[in-house]
Structure formats: C-alpha cells, structure tokens
Structure 1
Amino acid sequence: MTLEDTPTRRQLIGSALGAAVTLAGASQLFGSADRVAALSSAVMRPGAATKPAVRLAITDKLTFPVDANPIYGTLVCLNNFGGRSTANGPCSHNGVDIGNDKVSGRGRPLLACVDGVVHKDEAFSTGGLTRILRDGIGTYYRYHHLDSYESSLKEGDPVTAGQVIGTMGNTGNTVWSHLHFEIWQDSLTPSRATIIDPVPRLWFPHGVTLRAPTACAT
C-alpha cells in the first residue's frame, strides 16, 4: 500500500514497515472496502487529522477490542480517526468505529485491549454507556456505546488483554450497534491529553474489514 506524502505520513514513516492487504467484495451496508489479511506492522491510509487527534508512532500492538469470532458476524472497522463520524459531520472524530457489517452486533463481546484496570464507568448522552480502562503507564482506553458492562468487573478491578469487559450496543447518540474506541495518553482531560489513532496500535484479526475514511478538507 502506498502512503501519500502528508504530515501524518511523515510522523509515521519511521514505524511503517508495510502491510499485506487484499481486496474484499462490496458490502451491502458499507460499500467497497479493503480486506485486512495481515496488519502485523501496518499503517493504513489516514484521514486528515485535526487537533487534539494526532497520529503517533506504532508501539506494542493491542488486542483487538471486539471479539472477532465469525459466529457473531463479520466485522468492519471504520478508519475515521480525525475524520467524520457521520457523512456530513465535523472532521473531529477522536476514535474509530467497529461493528458488524450486515447483521446486528448488539451483545457482541468487547475485550480488554491491554493488561490494566477498570478505571471508570460512565454514561454520556452522546457516548452512551462507557467503560474506560487504564494501563500501567497512564494510557486510557475508552469503550463507548456499550449495551452492558461485564457485571463481574467494577472500577479498580484488574483486567487482562482479551478478557470480556462488556457487550456492544447502541446507547447514546447512535442507531448502529458498534464500539466507538479511543486511546487517550496521560489524562482524561481534553486540554491535557494526547488522543491518538487506534488503527496503528491494533492487531487486526483475520477477516476484519478496514474501511477507508470519509475525506476531510485539509
């Protein structure tokens, strides 16, 4: 995959080692998409990032935050960090959206992406039921629009990567059952945090479709 010469590309070029991507057929719901066959060291074509959403270098890979078992249906990840969350929305999306591309994904297990603790559970009018994890170096992982929390976990409990922490839903300001996933470094206060693109950090399981972002003017 060719990376265009953009400020985002120059930030990531030292970490981009290449990607193996095959083309998938068109989805009835989302249209054409790139099938992610392997993304062990990949940087996908970015959308235009706007502050505070910035793309940083790849470090250790995170466990994919949604159970990719095909018994729950096939998954699509909208690569819309720094882009639009809706067709005509502002270019200020602080995360990526992961959900089923055909059947409803409501109730699909959500997984801890890292070893850490349950930092906080909150409910927002926009983000719905939200569970926030924190790792050992002060990075926060935000899971939005949950249908339910894993009841055996409460704030302060330890979690291990791959552990079920809740289920996918459409609480908040969405009708599509999906996970809105964000990564915040150093703080949960917007003015103090660095919000980074999850895509280069994630290990993508076989069969997950990474859809191109909605273009934004630069």
Structure 2
Amino acid sequence: MRVFRLIMQIGLSVAVLLAPGLPATAKAPSAAPAKDPVKQERLQLFQELEATHGIPWTYLAAIDQYERAMQVGRKQKSDAPSARLTAIEIPADRWCGPLNPDQDDTNPDSIRFFEGVGVDGDGDGKAERTNDRDVLATLIHHFSSYGYAREDWLIGLWNYYQRDRAVRTIDQFSTIYEKYQHLDLDGRSFPIPSRYTYSYRSTWGYPRGWGGRRIHEGTDIFASHGTPVLSTGYGIIEVIGWNRYGGWRIGMRDMSNVYHYFAHLSSFKKGLKQGDIVEPGEVIGYVGSSGYGKPGTSGKFPPHLHYGMYRETGGNEWAFDPYPYLIRWERQSRKR
C-alpha cells in the first residue's frame, strides 16, 4: 500500500510538471503568511473594533501601516520596545485641544470642553494618547461622522490628513488588506528570477549623460532581452506606460510606502494596468532597452533593468540606494 501511494504521489508530481498551459515564468504559489504574534494581536484588535463599531478593519490597518511607514521614513522609529500595538500618534494639541493648558490631559470632559478629539475607548475613564484603544476609538469617532462607505471614508481621510498623497496611499493599503485578509505582507523578491543569467553592481550616484546633468538613482541589472521582471513586494501599480528617460516603465508602491521603479522594459505582462495589486515574485514585465527618446525609442544601450526605490515622508519623494536591498533579496530568493 505504501509503495502504491508513493507511485501515485510521483505520478501526480510529474503530471503537475507536465501540465499544459503552465507558463515557463509562472510564479510559485504564495506561502501561507507567517504567524507573527504581534501582527496577529494587532489584527485581532482591528477586527474586534470592526465588530463593535462597524468600521472595516482594513481602514484602521491601513492608517496604522501608513503612520508606521512614515515614522520609519522620518527615522523616528525607536529601537526601544513599545507596549503599543499600533503606530498611530495624534498630536497633543489636537488630542487635548489647542487652548487646553494641560497638554497631557486625559480627562474626557475637559478634553471635550477645549475641543480636543481624544476619547475614552476602553471605558477606564481616561482618554490617553498612548492607549491603542483610546486612539483607535478617536479615529473611529472621526471617520464614522462622515459615513461608512468608501467615498465617505476618503472624505474623512482628507479632512484628517489634508494631503492627497496620504489619502491615496491609505486607500491603496486598505484595498490590499481587503484582498489578502491578513497583515503579513512584508515578503520580498529579487526582480530577476534566479534561473536566468544576469549581472549587476552598485551604480548609485553615477553621472548620466542623456537629458541633462543628473545622477543615476538606482541599480542597473543587465540581462537578456525578454528576461522576466518580477515584483519585489506586495503593492499596487501606480504608473505604467512610457517615460522619455525610462522608456516602458512600471511604478509600484509597496506596503512600506516605498515606490519601486522598473524601467527600460521591452513590454509589460499582458493585461497589467494601473491599480492592479501585485505580490513578490509575480511577473510584471520583461527586460528591454527602451527609453531616451520619444515613445518606442529602443536600442540606445544594452538591455537591462533599471531598478530604483523612492520613499515619501510628507513632501517630495526622495531616492535611496537599492543595491543593499537587492543583495539581501537575491540571497533570500536563492535560499527559497
């Protein structure tokens, strides 16, 4: 019987490998999300508040993730352990009221008297800026006043942040959480499959000769024309099309609010469009030599992928060197 089962298992494996219609660049099925206990506890808190107040947990998770990413971008993340589950911080003058003489006030009545936003979310009689339930209850109180539909939530986001970029990013995060229904979306992938031949080195800051004086804001990965290009993380396609510098290019924003720039492509994955959700290791395009001219210009340099990373911290996005990240992701991909 054991021999029979073994033969059946081998037969099924061979059948899967030889199954028709499976493309050579197909991505392996996503592994089950890691059970990070902190993220699980955070998710349970969001879901509990959804059950209590009716605000979708993905809204709360998206705001928390945006705030978390902005703190990292501004280098405000402390190495000291925190007792809090969320990263949402509401300024004291907004929490307690701008005219409140006590900017550490936790009395809900006096906070309300001075037109502060802080509320008591856990029923202990105090409205504390460092209490996750109080902070989330304050946000829920704000957003529920606009309504529960997505359009209402976007209006509430605008009135809270007063920034189009913040509203757009948080809405994107919420959409991604809605698809995957968990918080473990930190996976990464090297942008070229390991079975293909490629080469790269650090080219950050090198001078560029076309289009005026500028520096190289990325890493060039040289590979044969038509080599698949993979998404480096979970994210959403923000830009796809032609750029006179980058040629056929794709811009993807990940769950850390980092913009990933894939340029000089020969083509895109069929059907890929702005607003699509992608995940690590998913084919999004193919290596080419497009760019440095009007749409369709190609062949002015050897085929390669220009890969760049940009972070947004409340103003203009700024580029940073992707080379150390590529080295790490390459090692991780080879191990997998």
Instruction: Name the TM-score class by shorter chain.
Output: 0.5 to 0.7
1: CA distance, partners of 2:217 / 2:253? 17
Question: Which of the residues 302, 305, 311 maps onto 1:176?
Answer: 302
Pairwise CA RMSD of aligned residues?
2.7
Q: Which runs of 5+ in 1 are unaligned?
A: 1-59, 209-218
Residue 157 of structure 1 corresponds to 276
CA offsets 1:82-123 (integer angstroms, 9 cap, x no match): 12457xx967110010013xxxx1110000000111111131
Runs of 4+ in structure 1 off by over 3 angstroms are none
Give the one of 91, 108, 125 matched to 2:244: 125
The aligned counterpart of 1:76 is: 199
1:68·1:205 contact (CA, 8 Å) conserved in 2?
A: no
Query: Which of the residues 294, 299, 312 maps onto 1:186?
Result: 312
CA distance in 2, matches of 1:205, 1:167: 22
Query: For residue 325 of structure 2, what is the aligned residue in structure 1?
Result: 201
Corresponding residue to 2:189 among 43, 58, 63? 63
2:222 to 65, 87, 99: 99
TM-score by length of 1: 0.56
Q: Could you say which residue in structure 1 is the equivalent of 2:257? A: 138
Contact map agreement 1:78 1:97 (CA 8 A) in 2? yes
- Corresponding position: 1:108 with 2:251: no
Q: CA 1:62 to 1:91, structure 2 compared with 1: closer, same or farther past 3 Å?
A: farther
Kept after mapping to 2: 8 A contact 1:83/1:90: no
Q: What is the letter of the counterpart of residue 244 of structure 2?
A: S
CA distance in 2, matches of 1:106, 1:164: 15
1:112-157 superposed Cα distances (whole Å, 9 cap, x missing partner) = 0001111111312221001011112321000000100111321111
- Give the total of aligned pairs: 137
Separation in structure 1 between the aligned mates of residue 227 and residue 278 of structure 2, nearest angstrom: 18
Q: Which whole-Å CA distance do the structure 2 matches of 1:85 and 1:62 have between them?
A: 29
Letter in structure 2 aligned against 1:78: R
Which structure: larger Rg?
A: 2
Residue type at the aligned position of 1:82: G
* CA deviation map 1:165-199 (0-9, x unaligned): 00000011342110000001117x9x711211101
Which residue identity lines up with residue 181 of structure 1 in the other structure? Y
Identity among equivalent positions (%) equals 30
How far apart are the structure 2 equivalents of 1:171 and 1:99?
13
**Aligned with 1:204: secondary structure?**
helix
Letter in 1 for 2:323: V
Relative contact order (C-alpha < 8 Å, sep 6+): which is higher?
A: 1
Q: What secondary structure is seen at the aligned counterpart in 1 of 2:215?
A: coil
Q: Secondary structure at the match of 2:199?
A: strand
* SS of aligned partner of 2:324: helix
Structure 2 residues without counterparts, runs of 5 or longer: 1-185, 293-299
Distance 2:217 2:285 in 1: 21
Three-state SS of the structure 1 residue aligned to 2:255 is: coil
Confirm or deny: 8 A CA contact 1:99 1:177 kept in the other structure.
Answer: yes
Distance 1:91 1:126, change over 3 A: closer
